[in-house]
Structure 1
């Protein structure tokens, strides 16, 4: 992990180097923060989706990978999760063949989240984000 920023207790950000260990480190960081926020029920799904997006960043981009969580302000809210990398091109959903070993990450994000999308990065690159409803 290159860095951790905790802005106000309701937001956590990490930067990971673009190397194989980033996926494992991102999952662990996300799980730990969700546990701290008492959102354990979202930990497995969030860690899975983050690992898919970080893996996409590793495959297609070079440079650091950012992960950001924003805790919902209330129990009716959503958890916002963002994964950023320096590649400006937005990811594309693919229609993989049944025999393909990869290509399903964005489909998993799309089907498992409340909403998802992409936007240009703060300075360069892009951010892929998704929202998960907080269970009551």
Structure 2
């Protein structure tokens, strides 16, 4: 994976949060990431696409990476048009795409993430688990006006 910034570039915007490994936390992931991206000035189409990727990866962390007593973590780093979504969980087994049948309700998440992202991957996480990531290209964010509060 390439570094997201060079010394002469603006710093990356970073958002990170840990969540309880339960299905109800997926909606919280979407709300929190959506708020961060909106605060950073990204348009709704890019926010929706990024939220879908976050939701799919977080759902996989809950369904396949759950370990009692451990949280999962979502991190979003954005720099202008480059956005990196990372979801970490305590399970070491790498993600495995499956072939879903026409009537299957599950099994298309990683394929959907791959279709929406420029590139995807995974890596081991220390001290335990793995991180699954997706890099998306977004439109240039709108300049946010700074106000005196």
The answer to whether the superposition gives a TM-score over 0.5 is yes
RMSD (Å), alpha carbons: 1.5
Partner-residue secondary structure (3-state), 1:71: strand
Which sections of structure 1, spanning at least 5 residues, go unmatched?
A: 1-7
Match for residue 70 of structure 1? 77
Match for residue 39 of structure 1? 42
Instruction: For CA contacts below 8 A with separation 6 or more, give which structure has more relative contact order.
Output: 2
1:54 aligns to 2:61 (yes or no): no
Greater than 6 Å deviation, 4+ residue runs: none
- Once residues 9 and 46 of structure 1 are traced to their aligned partners in structure 2, the CA distance between those partners, rounded to angstroms, is 16
1:82 aligns to 2:89 (yes or no): no
1:95 aligns to 2:99 (yes or no): yes
Which sections of structure 2, spanning at least 5 residues, go unmatched?
A: 1-10, 141-149
Partner-residue secondary structure (3-state), 2:22: coil
- Once residues 113 and 25 of structure 1 are traced to their aligned partners in structure 2, the CA distance between those partners, rounded to angstroms, is 22
Q: State the aligned residue count.
A: 126
- Once residues 9 and 21 of structure 1 are traced to their aligned partners in structure 2, the CA distance between those partners, rounded to angstroms, is 29
1:29 aligns to 2:28 (yes or no): no
Match for residue 10 of structure 1? 13
Q: Give the TM-score of the pair, scaled to structure 1.
A: 0.87
**CA displacement at 1:121 relative to structure 2:** 1.1
